[in-house]
């Protein structure tokens, strides 16, 4: 960059770089003045929504015009480069000045006065600094203070910006966003450290911390690491004993008012602080209180005091000897909890991982993996990851992140500092847990082959523990592996039925002999901790929400030495800590009840083409699949209760439910016959993995089998209009692979089952058009899921890709003139013509909203349908918290999917609840 001319700025030298980008000294060749250019990070400028937000915020920041605030000259753009032109301020930062020790009281107060004047001017404009610290305060050679980077923390933080200005938030008020830990840890206000909403009082706190440091010559809350620093900010009372002994009492009082941990009891306006400092600076008696001269003691009294002093010294020496002989017990570290709420528009999906040193964590969202350092200014998306990047895990040194890519069934790694992801190996159909247990190797559970080991540099995986998913229900299947510290034994869960967790086995197995030992039964996600415990989750019902348990474990004997103890309740997802920092997603309150966990109490809602919702009226339950009857009078539903799936029918006119199946097996994916008399569904009853059955829709008569195929899970999807054919998704399961194809059942004669579309891709969710001439379906042949159309039944007579950036769960409009599909939170429509030849238009978004998606449950669920009038859709909506406008479906997100709990020094709590071996 040095020596280049960008726009009308000639770059002279590098001034510094950090998380907010690089700063260069440059010359403005138009105005002949020196400026500072701050180049924004690439991961920031590539986010169009964040840049739109930043540009609007920058306009407000540029309006700040005060002699103690470094100004913003402009936000520039050249090609793909975005940078800020800033006022160049000569001199040292306050951080540089403090390296030389405490600042004299009168000088420190003069600096402080100028800082308050800068804050007062900014707060008057509705701008909060959010990152006030000595490094952001410059002192010119003339002794003038300039506060830098005013408001940039908010601008950089990455709030989701509306694409239309009419929907953007008002920038002139001081309302702030929640959930982002802004600022350097030692200067954060307690509400910042907890990820809560902040206002101008957070700047008042930071000012108090800075003033203390100027007077005392040392930081107020700095610890040996991030977690201890945050703990001190949240829990420790300020210690004023390091302040000058003769400090003016008004300054002591002012500092105490600035450093109240509860924001509502803190000084509310920086102007009040400015006034107090001005009074002290203009006090005729000076900024310090003179010491009172004592009366000289008489000789005898002086001798007595001298003898007493010597006695105290001797006692102290004796006491010291005792302490030297008796080792001091280290003070237990303080356990600190705080919440981090995701920015609006982000929704958790895909897992959580915490770094080995506990200083950062990664969470998956519908937009990719995000990295969050505990003391960082903002979470940043890890380049190269997307909505299909799931199950993240850290390398032992914390510099790499491994994850599974659902789009291409590959295990990958990416440097947390940035760069292109690297493929480690292919997997059969997915993974169930991975662990980077040494610098050289990674162990993971392949959903078909069993537990595998692969080089951390990539290569051909080797099988450590064989698994057979076809026999998993009988023999168990090995998942969530971890190599124990001895490098000789493997800890994993032998999972049976995913809805019956009490049957699972937590196992340790020798890599050399293959001999395995069942440590105990029940639970999932087990992990050995360096405290000598095995922690695991016992989910409630058929969900991932449950309690976190721990048992003491003797690593040498490979034996459990105590009973299980519940150490954490209501965990929806999380990452077991190796460092003592626990990160998890809490489940909602009121988790138990006859209908199952509260988090699974979904609701059924009608959503029109503009996204307006109307509740169906059915009681909240764990709904998973649905299909509307041909006449639109009833809805067939899959409902899970106490771990068992059954088919129910909801009568729309009478608002009454009727249970259709009662077997202990799982019955799922109901489809009405075209005449509306029967309902076909998939079930694992009998001796097959999953066949198809039907029953009269009014419940009369018995359930009858329609057909099954060896080693195949058959899922009914759609009838031809004449009722002669039923198309299905077929999941073929062998000992070495899993694949999906589209099958066809002839409903006449002997009801034979045959392959309809069988290729080397995952083909799913076939839907026959209303005229019976075409079939829409989902396939990953492009590398990601998209919607395609083929002729029916001659599927080789043509092929058209209808979606262009991903899509799943296609639906035809009743008149066959439109095709609908889902993609993330968006519902899209495509105009189509089916005669004389098939043609289609470009996709358009109808509405956005948080509803169950076929992209997550695509093999076993069809979580939406369209009414016979073609005007509204029936959707399954998870428990939601309105983020913004409650009338807009696109502004909702599941409450338990937007909050993360961080617990530092959690091992202290664990050891107290569950003593080690």
Residues with catalytic roles = 131
* H or E segment to which residue 319 belongs: helix 299-325
CA 412/CA 655 separation, integer angstroms: 49
Q: Which backbone phi and psi does 831 adopt, to 5 degrees?
A: -75, 135
40-51: b or e for each residue (b if 16 or more CB lie within 10 Å)?
bbeebbebeebb
* H or E segment to which residue 120 belongs: helix 105-124
CA 792/CA 821 separation, integer angstroms: 19
> Which of these, 681, 743, 736, lies nearest to 712 by C-alpha position?
743
State the residue for tokens 């649905």: 626
Enter the tokens of residue 541. 């019902």
Bond from prior residue into 872 cis (ω within 30 degrees of 0): no
CA 191/CA 128 separation, integer angstroms: 14
Strand-pair partners of 638: 625, 647
By CB atoms closer than 10 A (0-12, 13-18, 19+), residue 380 is buried
CA 851/CA 839 separation, integer angstroms: 29
C-alpha to C-alpha distances, 119 to 226, 262, 325, nearest whole angstrom: 27, 20, 54
CA 791/CA 776 separation, integer angstroms: 9
Q: Which backbone phi and psi does 881 adopt, to 5 degrees?
A: -120, 125
CA 62/CA 125 separation, integer angstroms: 11
Strand-pair partners of 337: 903
Count H helices and E strands in the chain, helices first.
13, 60
By CB atoms closer than 10 A (0-12, 13-18, 19+), residue 31 is exposed
State the residue for tokens 């920038």: 171
Residue 601 CB: number of other CB atoms within 10 A?
18
Q: Residue 234 in 3-state DSSP?
A: helix
Helices 105-124 and 201-216 cross at an angle (nearest 10°) of: 170
Strand-pair partners of 414: 401
Q: Are 829 and 611 in contact (CB under 8 A)?
A: no
Enter the tokens of residue 118. 């800068």
> Which of these, 532, 629, 470, lies nearest to 915 by C-alpha position?
532
Long-range CB pairs of 493-497 (<8 Å, 24+ gap) are 493/523, 493/524, 493/525, 493/526, 493/536, 494/518, 495/432, 495/524, 496/472, 497/473
Report the greatest alpha carbon distance in the chain: 123
CA 214/CA 99 separation, integer angstroms: 10
DSSP label at 562? S
Q: Are 231 and 223 in contact (CB under 8 A)?
A: yes
By CB atoms closer than 10 A (0-12, 13-18, 19+), residue 671 is buried
> Which of these, 78, 67, 56, 59, lies nearest to 7 by C-alpha position?
78
Which distant-in-sequence residues (6+ apart) come within 8 Å of 148 by Cβ?
A: 70, 86, 89, 136, 137, 138
Enter the tokens of residue 519. 């440590």
CA 669/CA 465 separation, integer angstroms: 33
């Amino acid at each position: 960059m040095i020596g280049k001319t960008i726009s009308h700025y000639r770059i002279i030298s590098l001034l510094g770089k950090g998380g907010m980008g690089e700063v260069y000294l440059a010359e403005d060749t138009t105005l002949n003045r020196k400026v500072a250019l701050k180049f924004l990070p690439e991961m920031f400028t590539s986010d169009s929504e964040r840049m739109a937000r930043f540009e609007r915020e920058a306009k407000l920041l540029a309006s700040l015009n005060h002699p103690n605030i470094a100004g913003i000259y402009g936000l520039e753009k050249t090609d793909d480069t975005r940078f800020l032109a800033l006022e160049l301020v000569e001199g040292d930062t306050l951080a540089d000045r403090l390296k030389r020790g405490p600042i004299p009281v009168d000088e420190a107060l003069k600096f402080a006065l100028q800082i308050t004047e800068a804050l007062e001017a900014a707060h008057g404009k509705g701008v909060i600094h959010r990152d006030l610290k000595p490094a952001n305060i410059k002192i010119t050679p003339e002794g003038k203070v300039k506060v830098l980077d005013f408001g940039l923390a908010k601008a950089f933080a990455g709030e989701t910006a509306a694409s239309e200005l009419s929907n953007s938030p008002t920038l002139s008020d001081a309302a702030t966003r929640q959930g982002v830990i802004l600022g350097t840890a030692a200067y954060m206000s307690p509400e910042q450290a907890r990820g809560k909403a902040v206002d101008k009082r957070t700047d008042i706190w930071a000012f108090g911390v800075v003033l203390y440091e100027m007077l005392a010559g040392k930081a107020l809350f700095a610890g040996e690491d991030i977690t201890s620093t945050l703990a001190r900010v949240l829990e420790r009372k300020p210690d004023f004993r390091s302040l000058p002994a003769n400090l003016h009492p008004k300054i002591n009082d002012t500092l105490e008012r600035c450093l109240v941990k509860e924001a509502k009891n803190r000084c509310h306006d920086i102007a009040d602080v400015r006034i107090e400092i001005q009074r002290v600076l203009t006090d005729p008696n000076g900024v310090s209180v003179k010491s009172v001269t004592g009366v000289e003691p008489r000789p005898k009294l002086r001798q007595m005091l001298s003898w007493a002093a010597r006695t105290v010294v001797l006692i102290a020496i004796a006491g010291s000897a005792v302490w030297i002989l008796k080792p001091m017990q280290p003070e237990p570290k303080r356990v600190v909890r705080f919440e981090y709420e995701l920015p609006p528009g982000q929704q958790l999906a895909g897992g959580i991982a915490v770094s080995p040193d506990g200083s950062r964590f990664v969470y998956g969202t519908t937009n990719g993996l995000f990295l969050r350092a505990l003391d960082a200014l903002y979470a940043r998306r890890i380049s190269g990851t997307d909505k299909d990047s799931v199950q993240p895990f850290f390398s032992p040194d914390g510099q790499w992140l491994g994850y599974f890519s659902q789009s291409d069934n590959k295990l990958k790694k990416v440097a947390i500092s940035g760069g292109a992801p690297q493929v480690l190996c292919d997997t059969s159909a997915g993974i169930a847990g991975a662990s980077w247990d040494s610098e050289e190797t990674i162990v993971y559970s392949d959903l078909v082959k069993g537990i595998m080991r692969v080089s951390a540099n990539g290569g051909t995986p080797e099988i450590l523990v064989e698994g057979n998913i076809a026999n998993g229900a009988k023999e168990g299947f090995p998942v969530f592996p971890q190599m124990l510290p001895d490098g000789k034994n493997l800890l994993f869960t032998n999972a049976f039925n995913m809805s019956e967790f009490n049957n699972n086995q937590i196992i340790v197995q020798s890599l050399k002999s293959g001999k395995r030992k069942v440590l105990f039964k029940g639970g999932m996600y087990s992990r050995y901790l360096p405290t000598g415990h095995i922690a695991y989750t016992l989910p409630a019902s058929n969900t991932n929400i449950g309690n976190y348990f721990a048992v003491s474990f003797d690593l040498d004997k490979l034996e459990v030495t105590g009973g299980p103890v519940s150490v954490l309740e209501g965990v929806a997802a999380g990452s077991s800590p190796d460092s003592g920092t626990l990160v998890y997603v809490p489940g909602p309150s009121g988790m138990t009840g006859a209908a199952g966990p509260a988090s699974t109490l979904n609701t059924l809602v009608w959503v029109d083409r503009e996204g307006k919702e109307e509740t169906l009226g059915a009681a909240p339950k764990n709904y998973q699949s649905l299909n509307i009857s041909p006449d639109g009078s009833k809805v067939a539903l899959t409902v899970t209760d106490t771990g068992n799936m059954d088919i129910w029918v909801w009568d729309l006119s009478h608002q009454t439910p009727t249970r259709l199946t009662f077997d202990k097996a799982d019955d799922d994916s109901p489809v009405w016959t075209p005449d509306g008399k029967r309902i076909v569904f998939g079930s694992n009853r009998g001796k097959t993995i999953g066949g198809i059955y039907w029953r009269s829709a009014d419940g009369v008569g018995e359930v009858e089998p329609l057909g099954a195929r060896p080693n195949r899970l058959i899922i009914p999807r759609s009838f031809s209009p004449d009722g002669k054919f039923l198309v299905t998704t077929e999941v073929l399961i062998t000992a070495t692979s899993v694949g999906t194809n589209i099958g066809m059942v002839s409903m006449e004669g002997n009801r034979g089952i045959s392959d309809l579309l069988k290729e080397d891709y995952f083909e799913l969710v076939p839907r026959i058009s209303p005229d019976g001439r075409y079939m829409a379906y989902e396939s990953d042949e492009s590398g990601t899921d998209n919607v395609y159309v083929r002729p029916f039944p001659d599927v080789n007579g043509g092929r058209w890709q209808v979606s262009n950036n991903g899509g799943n769960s296609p639906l035809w409009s009743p008149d066959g003139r439109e095709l609908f599909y889902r993609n993330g939170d968006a519902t899209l429509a495509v105009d189509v013509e089916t005669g004389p030849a098939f043609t289609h238009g470009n996709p358009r978004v109808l509405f956005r909203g948080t509803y169950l998606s076929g992209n997550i449950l695509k093999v076993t669920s069809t979580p939406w349908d369209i009414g016979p009038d073609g005007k509204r859709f029936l959707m399954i909506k998870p428990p939601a918290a309105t983020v913004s406008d409650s009338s807009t479906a696109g502004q909702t997100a599941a409450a338990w999917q937007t909050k993360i709990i961080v617990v530092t020094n959690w091992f202290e709590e664990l050891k107290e609840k569950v003593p080690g071996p």
